[in-house]
Chain A
Amino acid sequence: MKSKADPQLVFLVGINLLVLLSASLLSKGAFIDPYNLQSMAAQLPELGLLAIGVMLAMSSGNGGIDLSGIALANLSGVFSATVVTAFVSVDQAPVLFTLAFAGIAMCTGLVGGVVNGLLISRLGLTPILCTLGTQLLFTGLAVVLSGGPSVRVGSADLLMEIGNGLWFGVPISFLIFLLIALLVGAVLKYSPFGIRLFLMGTNPKAARFAGFAQERLLITTYALCGTMAGVAGVLIASRNVNVKWDYGQSYLLIAILITVMAGVKPEGGYGRMTCLFLSTTALQLLSSMLNFLDVPNFFRDCAWGALLLIFLAFGRYELFARAREKGLQFISWVRPPPAHKSHS
């Protein structure tokens, strides 16, 4: 029996292929040069991880969102760099440096996420207002710690490998993102935590009456979200060698755009990791295509906006289903189906 294809998934796959195809044709093949594919693959993990965080927050319902993602990522990088460079020398112990840096950055992300979770669950703050506040808090802490200018992390070989290295031609940072996406996706789909999260997102009141430990669920969700930001901070540091408190301020809205364009319901209760992954790649492909074709950057925001609106229209009004029907009708008109053998 043929399963009904998820229209949003099909749209995302379609848009990915369409952009890849048009960019290849318009750039005369330069777009699918391996170097460019690797370059694009290395650019998207930072955004993708932040988008995973936003998806987790949105899925928890009750207007869940995380506006503090990139601020926490920057704080993780700045804090970790400041602390680790004071105790471990980059040149003498590069492996220890890398592990310590990554570990402390992820812990900072975790702690930041727990702060968000506590404020939202214990104090009952609206997620959007709470994370707006923590965004400013994290940014402020990063400014104070760094004094303003960027903080040099230092080029430890292992850390550089994470950001720039390849494994069988695939960037390691992309593999890390893929792995995390698979893990979190599996947790969301198959683990009791994931199932309870989506149920709570769909109907918080029913969840409460069903006896879900809502506070613990929320704290775990936002803690996971914060850890994503911590990992993003490590990837940013490994690629740029320096971390700064105001890096990627535009990432906030872009991450939310990716999440919404993945079909994640902002009111909570639904989100597919596969769609999120494809949404990230689609936006990256579109962005790089416009840069390849020398299109001014202003048009990129316009293109993303148009893409989002088309995506929402497809999902909402089942246009895709109707278009597919019309398409099939047209195909059968052009090429009539073969005559059936009669069973009499």
Chain B
Amino acid sequence: MKLKPVHAAIAAVLLATSVGALNAQDKPTIATVVKISGIPWFNRMEVGVKEYASTTPTVNASQSGPATSDAAQQLKIIDDLIARKVSALAVVPMDPTVIEGALKRAMDRGIVVVTHEADTQKNTHADIEAFDNAAYGVALNEKLSSCMGNKGKWTSFVGSLGSRTHIQWVEAGAANAKKHAGMTLVDAKNESFDDANKTYEKAKEILRKHPDIAGFQGSAGNDVIGIGRAVEEAGLAGKVCVVGTGLATPSAKLIESGAITAIGFWDPKDAGLAMNKTAKLLLDKKPLTNGMNLGVKGYEKVSVTKGPGAGYLIVGNAMVIADKSTYKNYLF
């Protein structure tokens, strides 16, 4: 029988399978999947994941994420990791609801699932929050209102209307602002899609529409950068208050010029470490107890309660609010 290319291909594929079958069992793999790769926030988280990988040689830990801010692309990565049968998934969901189906498939396949920034996620073994989200939203808003002198128009930005934590922060902020009769919320929950340029364009629009606007509360890591740039360009640095989530190094220039009043954050490196450590605890079938120490800064005494599904909700104490006088301590 003449050897056709098709036969060769089939033979090679069979050979590959047999090679796979003969291979010894690898180390457990913890795969971290973030919202979007390449932005400062998740680059910092990758530092944490790499640190965990180097200090825990018994585990393979790595991070991946979509190139665009699209829940469908994150879903594809998760589906492929489930097919690859990683031991544990640590996911920061772009939209918790969209991946519920996939996470259920993962749990059914025996994969440990840990999430972050998704306290409504049902199909997870544990969701880790850096702090109580309502408290964070209030803290950001308090910083904003004290800068604004408790009066004036203000607006809020979110990464997307599906970003659970961002919505929690701005809604808590709005509830806090209601305490101050002089503050008026206009055009709330503008979507930035984690894109500093889109935020910049939207902020310019808002400045045009409300020339007397006095404050901005941002949520996504790049929001304050886009808003700050628009405020600075309009010559309003120091006159308009800008507060939001952000990392110190990318925001440094705008903080110095006064375009950004204050940034709030939690160290994504520690969040990444906390996720991976929790995943390892679950892989080793160790119990998660209230008040336990995860061995990560900001998560030394976490509260462990029941989550919305069958898993746990773990809340740490890792909130940081930094302004011009304190931001230099956090230049990572």
Please list the residues of chain A having a beta carbon within 8 angstroms of any beta carbon in chain B.
17, 20-21, 24-25, 27-30, 32-33, 35-36, 39-40, 42-43, 148-150, 152, 163-164, 239-242, 244, 246-251, 287-288, 291-292, 294, 296-298, 300-301
Known: A24-B16, A164-B105, A240-B98. A292 touches B80 (CB 8 A): yes
Shortest CB-to-CB span from A329 to chain B, Å, is 17
Q: Is the CB of B37 within 8 A of A39?
A: no
Alpha-carbon gap, A27 to B97, bound state (A): 31
A294 (CB) vs chain B CBs: closest residue = B62
One of B50-58, B69-77, B319-327 contacting the partner: B69-77
Q: Return chain B residues, CB-CB under 8 Å to A294.
A: 62, 64
* B interface residues, how many (CB within 8 angstroms): 46
Please list the residues of chain B having a beta carbon within 8 angstroms of any beta carbon in chain A.
9, 12-13, 16-21, 23, 37-38, 62, 64-68, 70-73, 75-77, 79-85, 95, 97-102, 105, 109, 160-162, 167, 189
Q: Is the CB of B70 within 8 A of A248?
A: yes
Q: Is the CB of B100 within 8 A of A240?
A: yes
Looking at chain A's contact residues, the main secondary structure is helix
Q: Return chain A residues, CB-CB under 8 Å to B20.
A: 24, 27-30
Q: Is the CB of A150 within 8 A of B162?
A: yes
Q: Is the CB of B83 within 8 A of A241?
A: no
Alpha-carbon gap, A163 to B101, bound state (A): 10
Shortest CB-to-CB span from B99 to chain A, Å, is 8
Q: Return chain A residues, CB-CB under 8 Å to B161.
A: 148-149
Q: Is the CB of A43 within 8 A of B84?
A: no
B17's contact among A24, A35, A36, by CB below 8 Å, is which? A24
Q: Is the CB of B73 within 8 A of A39?
A: no
B68's contact among A29, A32, A250, by CB below 8 Å, is which? A250
Q: Return chain B residues, CB-CB under 8 Å to A29.
A: 16-21, 23
Contacts between chains A and B (CB distance < 8 A), count: 131
Q: Is the CB of A247 within 8 A of B71?
A: yes
Q: Is the CB of A297 within 8 A of B70?
A: no
Alpha-carbon gap, A36 to B102, bound state (A): 14
Q: Is the CB of A35 within 8 A of B76?
A: no
Shortest CB-to-CB span from B230 to chain A, Å, is 23
Alpha-carbon gap, A162 to B217, bound state (A): 43
Alpha-carbon gap, A240 to B76, bound state (A): 12
A151 (CB) vs chain B CBs: closest residue = B97
Q: Return chain A residues, CB-CB under 8 Å to B80.
A: 36, 39-40, 287-288, 291-292
Q: Is the CB of B77 within 8 A of A297?
A: yes
Known: A149-B162, A150-B95, A241-B101. A296 touches B37 (CB 8 A): yes
Q: Is the CB of B98 within 8 A of A35?
A: no
Q: Return chain A residues, CB-CB under 8 Å to B67.
A: 296-298, 300-301
B76's contact among A17, A43, A152, A246, by CB below 8 Å, is which? A43
Alpha-carbon gap, A36 to B21, bound state (A): 16
18 contacts between A and B (CB under 8 A): A24-B16, A25-B16, A29-B18, A29-B20, A33-B83, A40-B80, A150-B97, A163-B101, A240-B99, A244-B71, A246-B71, A249-B70, A291-B76, A291-B77, A291-B80, A296-B64, A297-B73, A298-B37
Alpha-carbon gap, A247 to B101, bound state (A): 15
Alpha-carbon gap, A164 to B101, bound state (A): 9
Among B21, B80, B167, the one with the most A-chain Cβ atoms within 10 Å of its Cβ is B80
Shortest CB-to-CB span from A215 to chain B, Å, is 35
Q: Return chain B residues, CB-CB under 8 Å to A241.
A: 97, 100-101
Q: Is the CB of B84 within 8 A of A292?
A: yes
Alpha-carbon gap, A242 to B104, bound state (A): 13
Among B20, B21, B84, B100, the one with the most A-chain Cβ atoms within 10 Å of its Cβ is B84
Shortest CB-to-CB span from B301 to chain A, Å, is 33
A287 (CB) vs chain B CBs: closest residue = B76
Among A42, A242, A251, the one with the most B-chain Cβ atoms within 10 Å of its Cβ is A242
Q: A30-B84, A43-B79 are in contact. List 8 more A-B contacts (CB 8 A).
A: A35-B85, A242-B97, A247-B70, A291-B76, A292-B80, A296-B64, A297-B73, A298-B38
Shortest CB-to-CB span from B66 to chain A, Å, is 5
B83's contact among A152, A288, A301, by CB below 8 Å, is which? A288
Q: Return chain A residues, CB-CB under 8 Å to B160.
A: 246
B9 (CB) vs chain A CBs: closest residue = A17
Q: Is the CB of A250 within 8 A of B13?
A: no
Q: Is the CB of A248 within 8 A of B72?
A: yes
Which 3 pairs of residues, A with B, have the shortest CB-CB distance? Answer: A29-B20, A148-B161, A291-B80
Q: Is the CB of B72 within 8 A of A250?
A: yes
Q: Return chain B residues, CB-CB under 8 Å to A288.
A: 80, 83
Q: Is the CB of A40 within 8 A of B95?
A: no
Alpha-carbon gap, A16 to B213, bound state (A): 57
Q: Is the CB of A250 within 8 A of B100?
A: no
Q: Is the CB of B101 within 8 A of A240?
A: yes
Q: Return chain B residues, CB-CB under 8 Å to A240.
A: 75, 97-102
Q: Return chain A residues, CB-CB under 8 Å to B109.
A: 35
Q: Is the CB of A32 within 8 A of B16?
A: yes
Q: Return chain A residues, CB-CB under 8 Å to B17.
A: 24, 29, 32
Q: Return chain B residues, CB-CB under 8 Å to A40.
A: 80, 83
A33 (CB) vs chain B CBs: closest residue = B83
Q: Return chain A residues, CB-CB under 8 Å to B19.
A: 25, 28-29
Q: Return chain A residues, CB-CB under 8 Å to B13.
A: 20-21, 24, 32
Shortest CB-to-CB span from A336 to chain B, Å, is 16
Q: Is the CB of B70 within 8 A of A242?
A: no
Q: Return chain A residues, CB-CB under 8 Å to B75.
A: 240
Q: Is the CB of B101 within 8 A of A250?
A: no
Q: Return chain B residues, CB-CB under 8 Å to A244.
A: 71, 95, 97-98, 162
Shortest CB-to-CB span from B70 to chain A, Å, is 5
Q: Is the CB of A30 within 8 A of B97?
A: no
Shortest CB-to-CB span from B309 to chain A, Å, is 13
Shortest CB-to-CB span from B59 to chain A, Å, is 15
Shortest CB-to-CB span from A258 to chain B, Å, is 14
Known: A244-B71, A247-B72, A298-B67. A35 touches B101 (CB 8 A): no
Alpha-carbon gap, A298 to B66, bound state (A): 8
Shortest CB-to-CB span from A213 to chain B, Å, is 38
Alpha-carbon gap, A301 to B21, bound state (A): 32
Alpha-carbon gap, A21 to B167, bound state (A): 45
Q: Return chain B residues, CB-CB under 8 Å to A291.
A: 64, 76-77, 80-81, 84
